[in-house]
Structure 1
Amino acid sequence: MKANRLFLAIVFALGGGLAFAAQIEQPAAKTVMHAPSGVKYLVGGVGDDEKAALDAVKADYNCRLTFAVKMSGAYLADVTVRVVNLASQAEVLNLVVPGPFLLANLPAGKYSVSAVYRGEMLTTELTIKANQAREHVFRFAQE
């Protein structure tokens, strides 16, 4: 009887430990979002798990934006981003990014991309071509 209890205790401990280890090793799952314009995007990157999850899928997105401080390189969160198609003047994205990364799938075209952090606005133009990804880092003066 004692041997059976010991065996069950060992099996339970090993099985529970394996399940716990499997939960730790898996990166945080991200939910794909869709803007009212139909543009598919992901945001986040706070913490190593979120960054790893975004890195794992970034090849699926043709617009990759990063938000950081100019001097220190520290990542920023809560940046307001607006993306406008320059040909049609249609707004394709307008959101607050809760982490330092925004991945988006934009149709081919030219876009004005504005990012605002604590009142500081930075703007750039990006040309998205078919089968080609663009990356841009917005570097803000303040933390």
Structure 2
Amino acid sequence: MMIASSLIKSRSLVLFAGAVLVSSAMPAGVALAGTPEEPSIHSLTPAEVQSGALTIEQGHEGVRYVSGGVGVEERAWLAAHESQFNTRLTFAVEPGGAFVSDVQVLITAGQGKTVLKTTTNGPKLLAELPAGSYEIQATHDGQTLHRTFTVASHGHVALGFGFKN
């Protein structure tokens, strides 16, 4: 089909007669939720989601957090539980967007007070931080990235960190 092949080459999401095609608005390497390459939380059984259960930990000042995202079950578990956390961090390498783990994360509040210090077990870290302003240092492969952000009393913050290849 001539139309389909030209749309696939451009790599963005297009719905055409019930088929999902890919086009340029979507970065290379991104899998669509619900496709065979990337099952969504809805395509897994409760037992499969439970098998990817991660442990919610306590950081400094009682901050709850969890990290992971390696494997379909962990990604599904994180997706199912992310609403319990107001801060969502994702770590990858640029260019290419390959996810990374073993990122050393240090989150500090005013006056440099440590709120969370951990090394991630996957490319995602979810945390429940009190409302306020924070600085984060994320270190991977000797490269440290710095960001400041504010957590409001309602809503959430989502930050992506791209380490240079």
Taking structure 2 as the reference length, the TM-score comes to 0.69
1:52 matched to 2:99? The reply is no
Partner letter of residue 162 of structure 2?
R
Cα deviations by residue, 1:62-104 (Å, 9 ceiling, x for unpaired): 100000011101100100000000x242100111001000000
**Aligned equivalent of 2:99:** 75
- TM-superposed CA distance for 1:23, in Å, is 4.1
Is 2:49–2:74's contact at 8 Å kept on the other side of the alignment? Answer: no
Instruction: Trace 1:5-84 onto structure 2 (pairs within 5 A).
Output: 23-24=47-48, 26-84=50-108
- Partner of 2:122: helix, strand, or coil? coil
Cα-Cα RMSD:
1.5
TM-score (norm 1): 0.80
| Identity score, percent | 36
Shift of 1:29: 1.1
Q: Which residue of 2 aligns with 1:13?
A: none
8 Å contact from structure 2 (residues 106, 116) kept in 1:
yes
Matched, 1:116 2:143: no
Return the offset for 1:48: 0.9
Separation in structure 1 between the aligned mates of residue 144 and residue 87 of structure 2, nearest angstrom: 19
Once the 2 structures are TM-superposed, how far is the Cα of residue 27 of structure 1 from its aligned partner?
4.8
Count of aligned residue pairs for this structure pair: 121
- The answer on whether the counterparts of 1:27 and 1:52 sit within 8 Å (CA) in structure 2 is no
Q: Which has the higher contact order (CA 8 A, sep 6+)?
A: 1
CA distance 1:44–1:76, shift in 2 (3 Å): same
The code of the aligned residue for 2:63 comes to V
3-state DSSP of counterpart to 1:94? strand
Tell me if the contact between 1:71 and 1:141 (Cα under 8 Å) persists in the aligned partners: yes
SS state of the match for residue 54, structure 2?
coil
Unmatched segments (≥5 aa) in structure 2: 1-44
For the 8 Å contact 2:101–2:120, the answer to whether it is kept is yes
More helix by share: 1
Q: 1:31 to 1:25 in 2, by over 3 A?
A: closer
